[in-house]
Amino acid sequence: MDYLIFSLSLMLIYIGLAQLLHVQFGMTGIPNFGVVGFWGLGLYGTGVLYVTYAVPLLPAIVLASVLSGVVAYVLAYLVLQRSGQAILAATLALAAVISTLVVTEKQLTGGVKGLGMISFPFPELGSRNVVYFIFLVIVVAVLIWGSAKLRDSRLGRQLIAIRDNEELAASLGKDTAGVKRMTFVVTCALMAALGGMTAPLHQFLVPYHLAPSLTFAVWIALVLGGKSHSLGALIGVFATFGLFDILIETYAPVPTEQAILLPNFKLFCYGLLLVLIIMFRPSGMLGEDGPRVRARPRPTPTPGAAVREG
């Protein structure tokens, strides 16, 4: 039961990350391949502050997120106005740098020996993992609601304009570089906050947590669910992490000899799913929602549309 709650909590973290990636890539068109880097900065930042400097959990998460935001700002300043492929490579490189530094800076992070323990907040409560799970549900719900609100706002339309044609958006007098940078910094800081929230789940942090497979798991989930749909992240994580990591790994009757190959089989299936979805349904299972796909306003607009447009 505890393990199921752990898995479900971790799934919520994945949904949150995929939702933030939806804002970065699905809305704004920034291909961030360093998700694990920002998340990991939050995870280890929180861990180091909590364990080494005895900072309480909540301030530690906030501080780690701010740190991650600063790193994101510097990276954004350097490469965000370059081509998508350059951004992709730079974010991937940053994630590699962070995971290497976690191994080398032993006096802070414990290196390969690991860092611990980080316990759930509110020691006076009973069954704290359930309380924490409910807290994560609220966090993820707020993220999904927030990104849906964002999409329908002026800022959201500006982000979509940047994604579709940045030169055009810039020629309309929008500060596209500034808006993009701000969006990137805020979403990366939120990824780090989710990383900080992961710390009590893992309790004991090891560099293995920062393997790039997390980035790809989040990407695959988002692309599968629908990168430009507000619920794409949710559905995508259910269909990948929920189906494979929770249902199959926990409940499927697999003989022990084959069980060690199961994670490899899972990643093979992820790859296959990704290929099929890009080939046959590039917008993902849910497609795209939001104002962009609605037909041009007719001469007599429907009341609902008029409210949304305002």
Residues that bind other proteins (CB under 8 A): 29, 31, 75, 78-79, 81-86, 88-90, 92-94, 96-97, 100-101, 103-104, 166-167, 169-170, 176-177, 216, 219-220, 223, 261, 264-265, 267-268, 270-275, 278-279, 282
Cβ nearer to other proteins, comparing 93 with 150: 93
Nearest approach in angstroms of CB 28 to other proteins is 12
Helix (H/G/I), strand (E/B), else coil: 109:
helix
Nearest approach in angstroms of CB 101 to other proteins is 6
Cβ nearer to other proteins, comparing 9 with 68: 68
Q: How many other C-beta atoms can be found within 10 angstroms of the C-beta atom of residue 265?
A: 13
DSSP track, 247-262 = IIHHHS---HHHHTTH
> Cβ(31)–Cβ(25) under 8 Å?
yes
Cβ nearer to other proteins, comparing 165 with 302: 165
Nearest approach in angstroms of CB 273 to other proteins is 8
CA–CA separation, 75 and 62 (whole Å): 20
Cβ nearer to other proteins, comparing 86 with 305: 86
Nearest approach in angstroms of CB 100 to other proteins is 5
Strand partners, 115: 205
Closest CA to 140 of 47, 233, 60: 233
Nearest approach in angstroms of CB 301 to other proteins is 32
Cβ nearer to other proteins, comparing 141 with 262: 262
Angle separating helix axes 2-21 and 213-225, nearest 10 degrees: 70
> Cβ(231)–Cβ(221) under 8 Å?
no
Q: What's the token pair of residue 110?
A: 């414990």
> Cβ(189)–Cβ(69) under 8 Å?
yes
Nearest approach in angstroms of CB 151 to other proteins is 20
Cβ nearer to other proteins, comparing 271 with 297: 271
CA–CA separation, 60 and 49 (whole Å): 6
φ/ψ region of 115 (left if φ > 0, alpha if ψ in -120 to 50, else beta) reads beta
Cβ nearer to other proteins, comparing 127 with 213: 213
Nearest approach in angstroms of CB 29 to other proteins is 8
